[in-house]
């Protein structure tokens, strides 16, 4: 036994000594030896020395980074550039924020910049606010690249979402142009559950939380659009509820490619001018241009975009034909709308106005007060006459028009670790298609909407040490309605806007225009650090503070310029502006075990909200857990996440004629989401992926009938009362058969239900199944590009068995449309393109918004064939 113990001790001593020698041979000693060999020109020996330690795991995290650095420099010294780039790729995968030493050779520094730029195409920071491999990021992601935008001939940002899975889009060309319902969640009238970012700056309009994805974005300046599916409050806080859309604009690396074969080129002053001009159907035209300049580490760009035209002409459809016919409200309209339940007080009131009973009588059983035939004839005559007289309202015709004028200006300045930027957006659009002409004037001069939004941002990124990175991102933004927000309502008898009592009193039908104003502003700052504990573990920690001043209710006026002439609703206690303060603290721990092909992450965020220092939603916490396993060509993901939606200022504080009570303490909506996905990587760019999700929503916004005052008057109020359960499957894929021909496809199955009157009910206007398919072919040495795409949208249930119970239609029928583009590169600098949507001219409809029950149309006809011809330019001294 003693001999055995001595043997074990000798073995342990031997192994310990061996390890000590090994550690001495590797580690800092090996780095120093290899650097000495490199300095005397023994490059092969330097690489061999480092490789031996890398293969035997003889380096810690920091030493491994330095080993890759020395190996890459050695390979470059022997002109083995391909191998050097592979080593640099490994180094940057290990340490994405690697900083070159000013003493390193210029050639190495340029190759690091070049490889990093190439790797950026496969990295995203939209999921965790740190750079991650897109395929391995803990989320389901769809990417639309700048090349996709160009090849497919998109003319505005909204079009690309029709080619993506997980979106049901109601394009009404109304208040928000298109409402995008992500993953089966149907909001009321806005895209307000999806967080829209531009270069990380929140672009949802502050007051309503609406994402205005319309015609204001300059497509030629977009690098890519990243769509994150599922809740993301752990990183972004409130309102990243069903997903995140991040529009990433082009930077210096996109306009000025690094040429590792020509190091001197990087020091020259460069400029680029890119953009496109186009004209097409519905008298529409647009142009956008970017001017970019670079000198050493200084980069500057300015971008502008202007879109003018018209949306679909609906004047040939009954809801917008500018003709009055009471029968369109249904049979016996005046009899139904004028008949009232009998009360003595009401009978006395009617008798004062109609003492001889010419226009009313009491039913035989004394339960109803009923209009006479004379009353019905007179009401119809007055409705007809006054509606036709509307041709001269304020000098404007009431016939349908729907013009568009959207524009934006953006600028970006980058020097060293600093980035500064600004953007101004203005959209002014007719919104007549959102209203029925029996209730509103549908001429854009009388009913239109507009908004303006401005932001300025400053970002600072700095590697404080080999392991610690610091980012500070601050911005100020403001929004208002501009001068275009107004609506003109028809106050008639048949539409119920003038009561029978007022008819008897002699009130005639009329049009009434209301002008609206809203102004809000906010400052936000997000400061975070990323600390690399080891090769396998890193921690992301951040603190975000928001301070805003928001208008509560609309300011309304009966004349133009409501900013100076308008008033808020009477009786608003404490004024109509609210100081909103939010603070959020978040953290995420990531574990990456590359040998075992396993990534794990756990994160959480705590948010606190105060309004005027007295109320608000208080404190909420949202966790997120994920696991990513990637053996061979497969990638498996499991994700659990929670999120919350802070009700918009509009939902908390605005009122209307039927909603007299606001609700400053409105609770946030909540969601718990479980998701699984599997991806098969077929090639460098080819893959197929399937994702399943199951989301449970609570505290959903709903309208509740409540007491208004002590006299017994009742009104409605927004409260957090609803529940929904939504599950679905997304299938996506893309395959490059050659460098010249590729196809993509995706399909979506959705099962959305909401709890209505204690019964699970189908959510309306969401299709069970939709699919997209497209192909891209390049010919004539890449000069000619042909693109063809098909969008299939299944039937969308509506009507009494759904949450859209007021719709007269039981279903909004499905459709298939074909879109495409033909592009020809005339020269290296100029390309001509012809793009077409709905090539076959299919007649189809989009569901209406809000209740879609009459005042707002239940469905809106979509345009027929739309054609645009474009000239695309790319000019500069760095092509």
**Where do the domains of the chain lie, and which CATH numbers do they carry?**
2-120 (1.25.40), 252-318+398-481+518-876 (2.40.170.20)
Pick from 455, 457, 515: nearest CA to 482: 515
pLDDT, residue 853, reads: 59
DSSP-derived letter for residue 686 is: -
Instruction: Please tell me the distance from the alpha carbon of residue 625 to that of residue 600, in angstroms, as a whole number.
Output: 8
DSSP for 130-180?
Answer: S-EETTTSSSEEEEEEHHHHHHHT-SSGGGGGGGSTTEEEEE-SSTTSEEE
Instruction: Please tell me the distance from the alpha carbon of residue 6 to that of residue 9, in angstroms, as a whole number.
Output: 5
> Which residue's structure tokens are 């916490």?
621
**Cα radius of gyration (the chain):** 32
Instruction: Please tell me the distance from the alpha carbon of residue 330 to that of residue 333, in angstroms, as a whole number.
Output: 6
SS (H, E, C) 231-246: CCHHHHCCCCCCEEEE
Residue 816 pLDDT greater than 60, yes or no: yes
**By CB neighbour count within 10 A (0-12 exposed, 13-18 middle, 19+ buried), where does 506 fall?**
exposed
Interval 728-747 mean pLDDT: 95
Residue 757 pLDDT greater than 60, yes or no: yes
3-state secondary structure of 12: helix
Contact 732, 746 (CB under 8 A): yes
Residue 747 pLDDT greater than 50, yes or no: yes
DSSP-derived letter for residue 577 is: E
Contact 460, 527 (CB under 8 A): no
pLDDT, residue 256, reads: 86
Residue 639 pLDDT greater than 80, yes or no: yes
Q: Print burial letters for 473-491: b (CB count within 10 Å at least 16), e (below 16).
A: bebbbbbbbbebbbbbbbb
Instruction: Please tell me the distance from the alpha carbon of residue 576 to that of residue 567, in angstroms, as a whole number.
Output: 10
pLDDT, residue 390, reads: 61
pLDDT, residue 243, reads: 94
pLDDT, residue 326, reads: 76
DSSP for 284-343?
Answer: EEEEEEEEEEEETTEEEEEEEEEEEEE----TTSGGGS----GGGG-TTHHHHHH-EE--
Place 14 in a pLDDT band, splitting at 50, 70 and 90.
Answer: very low
Interval 441-447 mean pLDDT: 91
Contact 521, 460 (CB under 8 A): no
pLDDT, residue 313, reads: 95
Residue 798 pLDDT greater than 50, yes or no: yes
Place 385 in a pLDDT band, splitting at 50, 70 and 90.
Answer: confident
pLDDT, residue 283, reads: 95
Place 843 in a pLDDT band, splitting at 50, 70 and 90.
Answer: very high
Pick from 186, 191, 194, 184: nearest CA to 244: 194
Residue 159 pLDDT greater than 50, yes or no: yes
pLDDT, residue 294, reads: 92
pLDDT, residue 696, reads: 97
State the average pLDDT for the chain. 89
Place 24 in a pLDDT band, splitting at 50, 70 and 90.
Answer: very low
pLDDT digits (tens, 9 = 90+) for 392-416: 677 788 889 999 999 999 999 999 8
Residues in a beta bridge with 680: 634, 688
Place 19 in a pLDDT band, splitting at 50, 70 and 90.
Answer: very low
Q: State residue 801 phi and psi, 5-degree precision.
A: -90, 15
DSSP-derived letter for residue 437 is: T
3-state helix, strand, coil in the chain (%, to 5): 20, 45, 35
Residue 217 pLDDT greater than 50, yes or no: yes
3-state secondary structure of 423: strand
pLDDT, residue 133, reads: 82
pLDDT, residue 304, reads: 97
Contact 795, 765 (CB under 8 A): no
Indicate the angle between helix axes 106-120 and 61-77, nearest 10 degrees: 110
Residue 1 pLDDT greater than 80, yes or no: no
pLDDT, residue 9, reads: 42
Residue 70 pLDDT greater than 50, yes or no: yes
pLDDT, residue 176, reads: 87
Nearest 10 degrees: Cα torsion 144, 150, 151, 155: 90
Interval 684-711 mean pLDDT: 88
Place 102 in a pLDDT band, splitting at 50, 70 and 90.
Answer: confident
Place 814 in a pLDDT band, splitting at 50, 70 and 90.
Answer: very high
Collect all residues with Cβ–Cβ distance below 8 Å to 169 and sequence separation of at least 6. Answer: 158, 161, 162, 178, 179, 180, 181, 846
pLDDT, residue 570, reads: 65
Interval 621-647 mean pLDDT: 95
Indicate the angle between helix axes 81-94 and 106-120, nearest 10 degrees: 60
Instruction: Please tell me the distance from the alpha carbon of residue 862 to that of residue 522, in angstroms, as a whole number.
Output: 37
Angle, CA 298 vertex, CA 293 and CA 301 arms, to 5° = 35
Pick from 637, 754, 747, 647: nearest CA to 695: 754
Q: State residue 205 phi and psi, 5-degree precision.
A: -60, 130
CB half-sphere exposure, 454, CA atoms < 13 A:
7
DSSP for 357-409?
Answer: -SSEEE-TTSSEEEE-HHHHHHHHHHHHHHHHGGGGBTTB--S---EEEEEEE
pLDDT above 70 covers a percentage of the chain that reads 95
3-state secondary structure of 539: strand
Interval 355-362 mean pLDDT: 93
pLDDT, residue 12, reads: 42
| Measured CA distances, 872 to 275, 528, 777, 825 (Å) | 6, 40, 19, 9
Collect all residues with Cβ–Cβ distance below 8 Å to 794 and sequence separation of at least 6. Answer: 767, 768, 769, 770, 814
Highest mean pLDDT: which range of 18-22, 63-67, 165-169: 165-169
DSSP-derived letter for residue 877 is: S
DSSP for 89-124?
Answer: HHHHHH-TT----TTS-HHHHHHHHHHHHHHHTTEE
Contact 509, 386 (CB under 8 A): yes
Contact 302, 291 (CB under 8 A): yes
């Amino acid at each position: 036994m003693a001999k055995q113990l001595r043997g074990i001790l000798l073995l342990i001593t031997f192994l310990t000594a061996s390890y000590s020698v090994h550690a001495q041979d590797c580690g800092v000693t090996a780095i120093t030896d290899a650097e000495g060999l490199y300095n005397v020109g023994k490059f092969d020996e330097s690489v061999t020395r480092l490789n031996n330690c890398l293969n035997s795991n003889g380096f810690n995290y920091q030493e491994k980074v330095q080993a890759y650095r020395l190996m890459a420099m050695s390979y470059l010294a022997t002109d083995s550039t391909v191998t050097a780039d592979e080593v640099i790729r490994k180094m940057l995968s290990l340490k994405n924020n690697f900083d070159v030493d000013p003493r390193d050779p210029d050639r190495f520094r340029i190759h690091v910049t070049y490889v990093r730029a190439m790797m950026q195409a496969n990295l995203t920071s939209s999921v965790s606010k740190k750079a991650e491999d897109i395929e391995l990021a803990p989320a389901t992601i769809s990417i639309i690249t700048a090349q996709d935008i160009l090849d497919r001939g998109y003319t505005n940002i909204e079009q690309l979402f029709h080619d993506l899975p997980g979106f049901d889009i109601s394009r009404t060309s109304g208040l928000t142009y298109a409402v995008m319902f992500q993953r089966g969640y149907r909001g009321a009238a806005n895209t307000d559950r999806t967080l829209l970012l531009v270069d990380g700056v929140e672009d949802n309009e502050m007051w309503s939380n609406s994402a205005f994805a319309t015609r204001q974005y300059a497509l030629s300046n977009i690098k890519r659009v990243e769509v994150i599916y599922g809740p993301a409050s752990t990183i972004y806080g409130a309102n990243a509820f069903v997903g995140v859309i991040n529009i990433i604009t082009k930077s210096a690396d996109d306009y000025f490619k690094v040429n590792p074969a020509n190091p001197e080129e990087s020091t020259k002053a460069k400029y680029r001018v890119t953009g496109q001009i186009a004209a097409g159907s519905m008298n529409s035209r647009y142009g956008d241009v970017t001017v970019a300049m670079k000198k050493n580490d200084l980069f500057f760009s300015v971008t502008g975009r202007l879109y003018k035209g018209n949306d679909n002409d609906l004047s040939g459809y009954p809801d917008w034909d500018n003709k009055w016919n009471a029968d369109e409200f249904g049979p016996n309209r005046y009899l139904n709308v004028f008949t009232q339940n009998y009360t003595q007080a009401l009978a006395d009131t009617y008798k004062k106005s109609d003492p001889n009973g010419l226009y009313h009588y009491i039913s035989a059983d004394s339960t109803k007060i009923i209009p006479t035939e004379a009353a019905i004839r007179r009401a119809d005559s007055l409705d007809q006459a006054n509606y036709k007289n509307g041709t001269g309202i304020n000098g404007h015709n009431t016939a349908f028009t729907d013009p568009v004028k959207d524009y934006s200006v953006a600028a970006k300045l980058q020097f060293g670790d600093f980035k500064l930027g600004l953007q101004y957006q203005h959209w002014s659009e007719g919104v007549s298609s959102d209203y029925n002409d029996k209730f509103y004037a549908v001429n854009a001069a009388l009913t239109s909407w507009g908004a303006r939004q401005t932001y300025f941002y400053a970002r600072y990124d700095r590697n404080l040490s080999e392991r610690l990175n610091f980012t500070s991102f601050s911005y100020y933004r403001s929004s208002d309605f501009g001068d275009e927000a107004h609506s003109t309502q028809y106050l008639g008898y048949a539409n119920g806007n003038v009561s029978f009592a007022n008819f008897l009193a002699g009130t005639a039908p009329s049009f009434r225009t209301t002008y609206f104003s809203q102004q809000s502003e906010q400052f936000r700052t997000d400061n975070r650090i990323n600390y690399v504990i080891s090769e396998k573990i890193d921690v992301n920690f951040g603190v975000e503070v928001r301070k805003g001043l928001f208008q509560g209710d609309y300011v309304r006026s009966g004349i133009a310029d409501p900013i100076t002439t308008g008033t808020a609703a009477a009786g608003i206690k404490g004024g109509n502006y609210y100081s909103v303060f939010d603070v959020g603290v978040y953290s995420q721990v990531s574990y990456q075990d590359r040998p075992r092909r396993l990534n794990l992450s756990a994160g959480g965020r705590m948010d606190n909200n105060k309004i005027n220092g007295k109320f608000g939603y208080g404190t909420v916490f949202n966790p997120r857990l994920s696991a990513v396993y990637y053996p061979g060509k497969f990638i498996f993901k499991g994700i659990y996440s929670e999120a919350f939606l802070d009700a918009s200022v509009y939902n908390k504080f605005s009122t209307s004629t039927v909603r007299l009570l606001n609700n400053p303490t409105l609770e946030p909506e909540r969601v718990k989401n479980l998701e699984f996905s599997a991806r098969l990587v077929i090639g460098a760019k080819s893959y197929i992926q399937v994702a399943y999700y199951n989301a449970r929503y609570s505290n959903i916004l709903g309208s509740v009938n409540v007491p208004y005052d002590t006299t017994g008057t009742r009104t409605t109020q927004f409260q957090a009362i609803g529940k929904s359960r939504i599950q679905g499957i997304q299938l996506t894929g893309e395959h490059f058969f050659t460098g010249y021909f590729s196809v993509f496809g995706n399909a979506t199955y959705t099962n959305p239900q909401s709890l209505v009157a204690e019964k699970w009910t189908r959510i309306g206007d969401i299709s069970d199944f939709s699919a997209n398919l497209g192909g891209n072919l390049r010919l004539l040495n890449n000069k000619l590009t042909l693109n063809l795409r098909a969008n299939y949208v299944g039937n969308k249930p509506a009507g009494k068995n759904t949450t859209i119970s007021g719709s007269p239609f039981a279903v909004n029928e499905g459709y298939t449309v074909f879109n495409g583009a033909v592009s020809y590169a005339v020269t290296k600098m100029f390309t001509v393109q012809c793009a077409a949507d709905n090539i076959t001219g299919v007649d189809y409809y989009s569901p209406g918004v809000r209740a879609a029950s009459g005042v707002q149309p239940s469905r809106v006809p979509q345009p027929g064939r739309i054609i645009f011809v474009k000239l695309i330019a790319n000019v500069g001294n760095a092509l």
